[in-house]
Amino acid sequence: MAPESEPTIKILLIGPSNSGKTALLLRYVDDIFDMDTATATIGVDFRVKKVAVKGKAYRLLLFDTAGQERFRTLTSSYYRNAQGCILVYDVSNRESFLSMDHWFGECAKYAEPGIVTYLVGSKIDRGGRAVATEEGKALAERYGAGFVEVSSKTRENVRTPFVEVVDRIIETPELMDPKLTRKRRENAVALDHGVDDDTAGASCVC
């Protein structure tokens, strides 16, 4: 199948700096884990991966966004047209986990309505766990997100968040159809401005 005919799926990885986003992405896409490359992302990193779901090819656009405050304005623009969002925290860092309410809020503010969300607790290979698995599960349930704990170092569960997010996106027609995506965006803008659905087209943000 030619690249241009493959449906495209855009997924963001967000979370605080040093939560393990880059390590997770590199392990999933390139099967690489190198402690020497575990530096903070500057702005946005980008990877492409081809996958097949039920015999059909898809092209994943994976954006690894910086967690530092000074890059927040830059990365907020990358939420546009994203169909999935993977939120990553470090299970050995309590502050990392406590910031997740902020990151879920940021996703709700900037992302398309109905985006698929998935919470990931990373670095489970490390000692000194500061966040219980049950806490992660409870937070994910509160936001209607999927949940898994992973280790990019050992490869444990690394594929799970990507596979499950892709499956949920494909199973949601309005996330795969650009026309339905635009209609959903129009309705969201109309609700924000108190406009009825019948007149929402005038408020389209394209």
Give the C-alpha separation, 55 to 65, whole Å: 30
pTM above 0.85, yes or no: no
Q: Which whole number is the average pLDDT over 194-201?
A: 37
Contacts of 33 (CB under 8 A, 6+ apart): 23, 26, 27, 152, 153
| Strand 44-53 with 56-65, pairing | antiparallel
Q: What are phi and psi of 139, to 5 degrees?
A: -65, -45
Q: What pLDDT, in 10s, does the model give residues 40-70? A: 444 457 899 999 999 999 999 999 876 545 4
Exposed, middle or buried, 9 (CB in 10 Å: 0-12/13-18/19+)? buried
